[in-house]
Amino acid sequence: MGKAFDIGLQQLTGSPPDPWAGGGLPVTSSQRGTFFLETFGCQMNDHDSEKVAGVLLSRGYRQVESPEAASLILYNTCSIREKAAQKVFSRLGEFREKQQDGKIIGVLGCVAQQEGEDIFKRAPWVNLVCGSASYRKLPEMLAQLEAGNHHVTGLDTDTDETFETEVTRRDNPWRAYLTIIEGCDKACSYCVVPFTRGPERNRASDSILREVRQLADLGYSEVQLLGQTVNSYADPTPRRMRFSELLLAAADVSGIRRVRFTTSHPSDFGRDIVEAIESQPKLCEHVHLPVQSGSTKVLRAMQRTYSREEYLEKIGTIRAAKRPIAITTDIIVGFPGETDADYGETLSLLDEVQYDGLFAFKYSPRPNTPSLSMKDSIPEEEKSHRLAVLQDKQREIQRARNASLVGESFEVLVSGKSRREYQWSGYTSSHRVVNFASQAPELLGAYVQVRVTDATPNSLLGEHVI
Ligand code: SAM
Ligand code: SF4
């Protein structure tokens, strides 16, 4: 069962310790106890960073906007594709010349887990290497760094604990992320996540719901439940709440107006989730259901545990719901052995499903994954071509789907204010971006009705209905 780690009440409420007292490091007084944290990758990483920032703030650190202004510089990294991992090393390279500055530099997340102590060899000026499964030990690791220890590591993945903190510094004042499962027990042949984030650990349902209540009390009206396979949730408490029951219980919390969840795995996507969305309007009408390929042959090679037909059955269930539910997906093109015919099946799947949004990627061979032993047979130019054709096709599908919404009205959670006067933006329950005009003096954080007047492939345009 997930065990919370305690930061300790004194550190939350007492006078903050000076992390640099006695350290004798040549940082300037304005930089003392300051941290800069840059995040790469997915929403799970974004949320991990919010929790890491919470741990640091509760230890008396202050967050700053640039590495120059900080004494502690942290990169929360992503290694899902090679390009993402390379970005981190180019960031670290910027410190080659500055290593005498006395700053502490840490690499967190998936690249840390993947490269381990080799990072110290490649960039000896790095002081901390810590994978996400070890974040609960961050206070101890920070204490070691503060004591002047030069190389500190946290690289366990054999933990059954989740990273729960007393303080989380959330970036968005209306929508709060909440991790309900960490790690992943699937074994998709291309994917580093089971290796970098470790095995699946489920958070206790009572702890999740307690946090939802706290968030509502703090004024958050939307919560987004996160997990690599969020719908595989298995409550570790005797209550044994199903994922769909957890969604309904979160929606029942007073003050909560929207509940989202991501990412769902098709194999564990049951009718009960659709029924929950049908029965409870607070459950957002959006499912992100990554398919990866339209070819059953490629899906088998990817070890995705479902066929094209089985996937389409799930889509049928979602499309038949009493409420319209937007469906988005992830696709990989150029997987080893993907023929023109296989790729054609992915294109035809787009026609068949009519997705509302799509993230598409060129296959990138990753360390420690089963597909690394398969020949990366599709040339880079061909992968780029397949990606471009797929994205063009999807753009046209989205253009038509969004155009069909002109004239309809939607509830929008307003989350942005344009520099242009009286222009606002926000999200519908289906997670469409809406840019709209309103003469209202202040709308941020409000739920308003917007009538759609025009549409592009990626957003809707509208006007405030008063
Ligand atoms: N857990 C989610 C799932 O099962 O769909 C998503 C995990 S991953 C952070 C997000 C997406 O990155 C995947 O859905 C996949 O499309 C893509 N991805 C993962 N590994 C990849 C690789 N080696 N090359 C290209 N894209 C990859
Ligand atoms: Fe990776 Fe597959 Fe797990 Fe998603 S389900 S995180 S793609 S192994």
Residue 330 Cα: closest atom of ligand 1: 16
Nearest residue (by CA) to ligand 2, atom 1, is 191
Ligand minimally distant from the alpha carbon of residue 360: 1
pLDDT-based confidence at residue 270 (cuts at 50, 70, 90)? very high
Question: Ligand 2, residues 44, 110, 186, 265: which to mutate, most atoms within 8 A of Cβ?
Answer: 186
Give CA separation, 112 vs 120, 134, 411, in Å: 10, 11, 41
Please tell me if the CB atom of residue 110 comes closer than 6 angstroms to any atom of ligand 2: no
pLDDT of 413 reads 98
Distance spanning both ends of the chain, measured CA to CA? 49
DSSP string, 151-201: -EEE-----------S----S-SSEEEEESEES-----TT--HHHHH-S-E
Where is pLDDT greater, at 338 or 165? 338
pLDDT of 341 reads 98
- Phi and psi at residue 199, to the nearest 5°: -70, 165
- SS3 state of residue 142: helix
Give CA separation, 165 vs 17, 61, 139, 168, in Å: 18, 16, 11, 7
Q: Express each pLDDT in 27-36 by its tens digit.
A: 565 666 899 9
In this model, does residue 382 exceed pLDDT 60?
yes
Where is pLDDT greater, at 157 or 268? 268
In this model, does residue 289 exceed pLDDT 50?
yes
Instruction: Tell me the CA–centroid distance for residue 99 and ligand 2, in Å.
Output: 37
Instruction: Tell me the CA–centroid distance for residue 304 and ligand 2, in Å.
Output: 9
Question: Ligand 2, residues 188, 268, 299: which to mutate, most atoms within 8 A of Cβ?
Answer: 188
Please tell me if the CB atom of residue 197 comes closer than 6 angstroms to any atom of ligand 2: no
Ligand minimally distant from the alpha carbon of residue 361: 1
**Average pLDDT rounded to a whole number, residues 91-105:** 78
Contacts of 10 by beta carbon, 8 Å cutoff, 6+ apart: none
Instruction: Tell me the CA–centroid distance for residue 13 and ligand 2, in Å.
Output: 40
Where is pLDDT greater, at 153 or 3? 153
In this model, does residue 19 exceed pLDDT 80?
no
3-state helix, strand, coil in the chain (%, to 5): 35, 20, 40
Instruction: Tell me the CA–centroid distance for residue 231 and ligand 2, in Å.
Output: 12
Report CA dihedral (82, 88, 89, 91) to the nearest 10 degrees. 140
Q: Express each pLDDT in 5-16 by its tens digit.
A: 222 222 222 233
Full-model pTM = 0.91
Contacts of 76 by beta carbon, 8 Å cutoff, 6+ apart: 37, 38, 39, 40, 41, 45, 48, 49, 52, 108, 109
Residue 191 Cα: closest atom of ligand 2: 1
By mean pLDDT, which of 149-163, 404-418, 452-466 is the weakest?
149-163
Please tell me if the CB atom of residue 27 comes closer than 6 angstroms to any atom of ligand 2: no
Nearest residue (by CA) to ligand 2, atom 5, is 186
Question: Ligand 2, residues 81, 182, 191, 291: which to mutate, most atoms within 8 A of Cβ?
Answer: 191
Give CA separation, 463 vs 46, 152, 169, 439, 444, in Å: 32, 54, 33, 10, 15
Where is pLDDT greater, at 169 or 96? 169
Instruction: Tell me the CA–centroid distance for residue 319 and ligand 1, in Å.
Output: 24
Look up residue 323 and give its two tokens: 């409420």
Contacts of 365 by beta carbon, 8 Å cutoff, 6+ apart: 82, 190, 371, 372, 376
pLDDT of 420 reads 85
pLDDT of 98 reads 65
Ligand minimally distant from the alpha carbon of residue 368: 1
Nearest residue (by CA) to ligand 1, atom 11, is 330
Please tell me if the CB atom of residue 304 comes closer than 6 angstroms to any atom of ligand 2: no
Cα separation, 365 vs 222, whole angstroms: 36
Ligand minimally distant from the alpha carbon of residue 198: 2
Q: Express each pLDDT in 43-83 by its tens digit.
A: 999 999 999 999 999 989 999 999 989 999 999 999 999 98
Ligand minimally distant from the alpha carbon of residue 364: 1
Instruction: Tell me the CA–centroid distance for residue 290 and ligand 2, in Å.
Output: 10
pLDDT of 276 reads 98
For the chain, percent of residues with pLDDT exceeding 90: 79
Ligand minimally distant from the alpha carbon of residue 288: 1
Instruction: Tell me the CA–centroid distance for residue 214 and ligand 1, in Å.
Output: 32
Instruction: Tell me the CA–centroid distance for residue 80 and ligand 1, in Å.
Output: 7
Q: Which residue, chain included where needed, has tokens 């044994």?
A: 240
Instruction: Tell me the CA–centroid distance for residue 60 and ligand 1, in Å.
Output: 36
**Average pLDDT rounded to a whole number, residues 178-183:** 95
Please tell me if the CB atom of residue 371 comes closer than 6 angstroms to any atom of ligand 2: no
Nearest residue (by CA) to ligand 2, atom 2, is 188
Q: Express each pLDDT in 100-121 by its tens digit.
A: 567 899 999 999 999 999 999 9
**Average pLDDT rounded to a whole number, residues 237-242:** 98
In this model, does residue 168 exceed pLDDT 70?
yes
pLDDT of 158 reads 75
User: Residues with Cβ within 6 A of ligand 1?
Assistant: 42, 80-81, 190-191, 193, 228-229, 263, 265, 290, 292, 330, 332, 361, 363-364, 366
pLDDT of 190 reads 98
pLDDT-based confidence at residue 1 (cuts at 50, 70, 90)? very low
Please tell me if the CB atom of residue 186 comes closer than 6 angstroms to any atom of ligand 2: yes
In this model, does residue 406 exceed pLDDT 60?
yes
Ligand minimally distant from the alpha carbon of residue 264: 1
Q: Express each pLDDT in 317-363 by its tens digit.
A: 999 999 999 999 999 999 999 999 999 999 999 999 999 999 999 99
Instruction: Tell me the CA–centroid distance for residue 446 and ligand 2, in Å.
Output: 35
By mean pLDDT, which of 17-26, 352-361, 395-404 is the weakest?
17-26
Q: Cis peptide leading into 263, omega within 30 of 0?
A: yes
